[in-house]
Amino acid sequence: MMHGVIFYQPDGSVSYGNHAAKEHWGLDAESPVDGRMLSRDAHSQVSEAVKRILAGQGENYHAQLQIGGRTLDLSVSSIRRENGELLGVVEISVDITEEINYNRALAHAEKINIVGQLAAGVAHEINSPLDGAIEAARIMEKGEMARDETRTLAKAQRAALERIAVIIKRLLTFSRKEQALKRPLAIWPVITEALEMVKYRVARKGISIEMPEPSNRKYVIEGEELELSQVMVNLLNNAVDANPEGGWIKINLSCSPGEVVVSITDRGPGIPEESRDRIFTAFFTTKDVGKGTGLGLAISKNIVEQYGGRITFANEAPPWGATFSVHLPWNGRCLEEKEFERPRNASN
């Protein structure tokens, strides 16, 4: 078997362990099946989970573990007779390293695709401050200005160049492959950053943006900024594509016990009935040939589920089209009043 299997007797002794399990836990294939299969100091929570289940303090345990450069998806479950008698505990480990690497490679490829889509907007954003900086340099080269006037021009030139640097940094940061660590993260700045990425496409179609109430912009979750930014960019891009010229995108932030919900609604035609079961399938797209890779929603779903969340969608009553909602786990934390700043309206 490719999956690791270990069976524990009700007294906690190991009665069976296959070759895959030994390999997953770094044991020699010829190692005997004995107590050493419980000696996993680096991941003692697994052994503790087995003990708790054997003691009747639960039925299941699930985790993803990093062991020797590999990622294991591990499940521990009780085995019982129909009358409830405990026969033991089974541990099943699956090496999902290649699957994770494949998903990350696809996600990075989709990022590069998005960067290509946004290239025209980036060029437009850079050209305007660049022209201003060049013109300021030309005027200063003539040397016919008073010191105060020169200082004013130099300040304007620096501001223009700093704006270019911010645009380039944003694009490079978004496209990078490295992943940062999961940490407490205010969700609203992630959304505003995603809006900055797509604002040229929004402006080009004359789309208006309806923002959530300021009081709903304070939620803090556990996450990774670049990954969640990719999810928001994907959903916003889809909303832009679905909207007609002069359309409307509504962004909403809300909370319920245990979760924060980010909803993005467009005024497009909605999701066709025949596409609803396949909307999150990799390489499936409802867009015209050459206008979509079919990866955006599949990758977004994968990212959100890694955080223990989910993505849902629904068609709205006219004049609205479809709403995609990102549900993320939330422990109730919000920004303090002194930490909270009202972000710039991205539609301005």
One domain, residues 146 and 288: no
**Upstream peptide bond of 319 is cis (omega within 30 degrees of 0):** yes
Average pLDDT of span 342-347 = 39
One domain, residues 169 and 54: no
Summarised one tens digit per residue, pLDDT across range 107-145 is: 666 666 666 666 655 665 676 677 777 777 777 777 666
- pLDDT at position 102, please? 74
The pLDDT-based confidence of 71 (bands split at 50, 70, 90) is confident
Residues 310 and 191: their CA atoms lie apart, in Å, by: 17
Domain end position, chosen among 63, 95, 127: 95
- pLDDT at position 322, please? 92
In our burial notation (b when 16+ CB lie closer than 10 A, e otherwise), range 136-145 reads: beeeeeeeee
Residues 22 and 37: their CA atoms lie apart, in Å, by: 8
Range of the domain at 139: 98-178
- pLDDT at position 287, please? 58
Q: What is the CATH number of the domain that holds 79?
A: 3.30.450.20
Contact 80, 86 (CB under 8 A): yes
- pLDDT at position 343, please? 40
Residue % of the chain over a pLDDT of 90: 17
- If residue 236 lies in a helix (H) or strand (E), which one and from where to where? helix 225-242
Lowest mean pLDDT among 284-288, 326-330, 332-336: 284-288
Q: What is the CATH number of the domain that holds 142?
A: 1.10.287
- pLDDT at position 342, please? 42
Summarised one tens digit per residue, pLDDT across range 154-191 is: 877 777 777 677 667 666 666 565 555 678 889 999 99
Domain count, the chain: 3
Q: How far is CA 348 from the centre of its chain?
A: 26
Domain end position, chosen among 65, 95, 125: 95
Q: What is the CATH number of the domain that holds 291?
A: 3.30.565.10
One domain, residues 187 and 331: yes
Query: Three-state SS for 1?
Result: coil
One domain, residues 139 and 155: yes
Domain end position, chosen among 178, 202, 228: 178
Summarised one tens digit per residue, pLDDT across range 242-301 is: 899 989 999 999 988 899 999 999 999 888 888 777 777 755 565 554 455 556 787 788
One domain, residues 90 and 111: no
One domain, residues 21 and 116: no
- pLDDT at position 289, please? 45
> Residues 6 or more apart from 174 whose CB is under 8 A from it?
111, 114, 115, 197, 226, 229, 230, 233
The pLDDT-based confidence of 70 (bands split at 50, 70, 90) is confident
- pLDDT at position 312, please? 94
One domain, residues 188 and 311: yes
One domain, residues 343 and 277: yes
Concatenating the DSSP letter of every residue in 112-147 gives HHHHHHTHHHHHHHHHHHHHHHHHHHHHHHT--S-H
- pLDDT at position 253, please? 92
One domain, residues 43 and 108: no
One domain, residues 160 and 189: no
* pTM for this model (two decimals): 0.54
One domain, residues 144 and 26: no
Is residue 36 over pLDDT 60? no
- pLDDT at position 125, please? 61
Contact 330, 260 (CB under 8 A): yes
One domain, residues 197 and 331: yes
170: its two tokens: 């944003």
Which segments of the chain are extended strands (E)? 4-8, 14-17, 60-67, 70-80, 86-95, 183-186, 208-210, 220-223, 248-256, 259-265, 310-315, 322-329
- pLDDT at position 40, please? 52
Summarised one tens digit per residue, pLDDT across range 2-18 is: 888 988 888 888 888 88
